[in-house]
Structure 1
Amino acid sequence: MKKFITRLLLVLSIALPVASIASEEVSLEKANIDLRNQQSLQRGAKYFVNYCMGCHSLSMSRYNRVATDLGLTPEQVQKNLIFTRTDGELSKVGELMKNGMTPKYGNEAFGNAPPDLSLEGRLRGADWIYSFLKAFYKDPTRPLGVNNTVFANVGMPHVLWELQGMQELQHAEAAEGEHAAANAHAEPKLVLATPGKISLAEYDRVVLDITNFLVYVSEPGKLHRQAVGIWVVLFLLVFIVVAYFLKKEYWKDVH
C-alpha cells in the first residue's frame, strides 16, 4: 500500500505541472470571418498560395472544388492559383493542393516539416489563426529571427513581414514617463518598429481573408450542412406533431 501511494504521488507530481501548462490560455483577438463572402475567400486563396503554400499544403482539398465554391472558373484557377509542378508540368485543376516540399527538406530547413493546413481551421479555430498571424515579433535569439506571442518559439519565419512590417515586444519596464512604475506589472505588448508596405488596417484585412479561407478549407461543406440541418430539424418538429396525433388515433380505443 505504501509503495502504491508513493507511485501515485510521483505520477501526480509529474502530471500536475503538465496540466497547469496545458491549461494556460493565450489572449486571442476575435476574427469576424464570413464564409459567405466569396471575395474575401478569393483574396484569402490568393494570399495563401502566394505566401503560405511554398511550405504548407492543403492535401485534402482540390483546386476544382475550391474553384466551384469560390466562384472561379477552372481557367482562372489554372492561371492564378496553380504554381506547383508534377513531373515537370503544372499541376492540373483536378489535383490536390500540394506543394513540392518534401518532409526531409522541411526538417533540414526548419527543424520540423511544415504541417499540412487542411484541418487547421477546425483544429485551432478562426480566432487562433487570426491572432497568430498578427503576433510575430523580432527575436534575435531565435534561429529565424522571429518569435510569436501566440505560439512561443515557433519554427517558421514571418512570411508576411513585407506587408505588416516588423514588430518588437515592448516590456513594461522599458516604458518611459511617470506612469512607468504603475505599469511595471503590465503584460508585454507588440509595437510596430518597422512599417510594412501596407497599413495596419489593410494588413488586418489580409490576415482576416487568409483566416476565412483556412476555415473554409477545413470544412468546405459547412454552409451546406448547416442549411440542410435547419430543414432536417423543421421536418422532425413537424413529424413529432404528426406522430403524436397518430399515436392518439391508434390508442383511442384502448382502455
Structure 2
Amino acid sequence: MKKLFATLLTALSLGMGLVSGAAASSDGIAWDKFPEQKMNDMASLQNGAKLFVNYCLNCHAAAYMRYNRLKDIGLSEDQIKGNLLFASEKVGDVMKVSLDPKQAKDWFGATPPDLTVIARSRADGSKGSGADYLYTYLRTYYRDESKATGWNNMAFPSVAMPHVLWELQGVRTAKFAEEKDPHDPAKTTHVFKGFEQVTPGTLTPAQYDSAVGDLVAYLKWMGEPAQDQRVRLGVIVLLFLAMFTVFAWRLNASYWKDVR
C-alpha cells in the first residue's frame, strides 16, 4: 500500500510539474532539441506508449485518446490487450485513470491534469516546441537535498515534483561554480557546469535519453494522431490546386484567344 501511495504521489507530481512547467521554464536552461526522427519510428512510438501507461497513466488520464487508436502506431488489438490495458478496461475505452478525482483532490489537494495534449500546450516561441521542453525537462533532474522532495530540475528550477523516472536514470547531482557577472564585476553568478552521476540507473545515459525521446514522441503523437495524415493530405491538395491552376490558365487563354 505504501508503494502504491508513493507511485500515485510521484505520478501526480509529474503531471503538476508538466502543467506548470511553462510558467517557470523561462528561468531554466536552454531547451535541447527533441529528436524529431522518432516521430517516424513505430518502435519508438510503441515504447513511448508503454512508458506512458506504466509511469503516467496511474494518475493522469488521456481522456481524448482511445486505446484502439494505438493501432495507428502498429500495435495489434492483442498486443494492446496483453500489454497496455488494465484489468477492467476494453480496447475501445479512452485512457481514463483509475484514481477517483474526488479522492485525488482529498489526498493531494488537486485533481491530476489530463495529459492528452500536454506536448502541444508547452511551446515557447523563444525556446522551442512543447516536445523540446518535455525532452529537456525529463532529462535534467538532479538530487537537491535543500528541496522538500529532494529533487530539482534545470529546465524548471525549484520544481515541486520528484523525479518519477529516477530508477531508469539513476541519481545525479548538479555541479555549479561561482563566476563574476560579465555585466557587473562586483557581482557573482551561479553557473551550471554539468551533472555528476552518483548512482547508476537501470539504463545507461544514452539509453535513458532514447527512452525519454520515445516517451515525448508518444506524447507529441497523442496530441494529434492524425498529423501525418493531415500533412500528406495537405500536400496532395496543394499539388491538385497547382495542376488545376495550370489547366485553368490554359483554358482561359484558349477561350479568349479569338476575342478582340
Matches within 5 A, 1:94-243: 94-124=92-122, 125-173=130-178, 186-243=191-248
Q: Return 5+ residue gaps in structure 1 as ranges.
A: 1-20, 84-88, 175-182
**Quick check: 44-53 or 96-105, which moved more?**
96-105
Q: Return 5+ residue gaps in structure 2 as ranges.
A: 1-23, 123-129, 180-187
Q: C-alpha displacement at 1:103, in angstroms?
A: 3.6
The C-alpha deviation readout for 1:202-237, integer Å capped at 9, x for no partner, is 111110110111111011001111111111111111
CA RMSD of aligned residues (A): 2.5
Name the residue aligned to 1:77: 80
Aligned equivalents of 1:38 and 1:231: distance in 2? 24
**Quick check: 34-43 or 138-147, which moved more?**
138-147
Q: C-alpha displacement at 1:23, in angstroms?
A: 6.1
Aligned equivalents of 1:186 and 1:156: distance in 2? 23
Name the residue aligned to 1:29: 32
CA spacing shift, 1:154–1:55, aligned 2, 3 Å: farther
CA spacing shift, 1:169–1:106, aligned 2, 3 Å: farther
What amino acid does structure 1 have at the position aligned with 2:100? T
User: Structure 1-normalised TM-score?
Assistant: 0.78
CA spacing shift, 1:172–1:206, aligned 2, 3 Å: same
What amino acid does structure 2 have at the position aligned with 1:142? K
Number of residues of Structure 1 aligned to a counterpart in Structure 2: 221
Secondary structure in structure 2 of the residue aligned to 1:35:
helix
Aligned equivalents of 1:138 and 1:223: distance in 2? 39
Aligned equivalents of 2:190 and 2:159: distance in 1? 25
User: Structure 2-normalised TM-score?
Assistant: 0.76
Alignment check: 8 A CA contact 1:112 1:155 kept: no
Secondary structure in structure 2 of the residue aligned to 1:123:
coil
Q: Which has the higher strand share?
A: 2
Q: Is 1:47 the equivalent of 2:47?
A: no
What amino acid does structure 2 have at the position aligned with 1:82? L
Name the residue aligned to 2:91: 93
What amino acid does structure 2 have at the position aligned with 1:80? N
Q: Quote the sequence identity (%).
A: 42
The C-alpha deviation readout for 1:233-254, integer Å capped at 9, x for no partner, is 1111111111112222333344
Alignment check: 8 A CA contact 1:29 1:127 kept: yes
Q: Is 1:60 the equivalent of 2:64?
A: yes
Q: C-alpha displacement at 1:187, in angstroms?
A: 3.1
CA spacing shift, 1:113–1:65, aligned 2, 3 Å: same
Alignment check: 8 A CA contact 1:110 1:156 kept: no
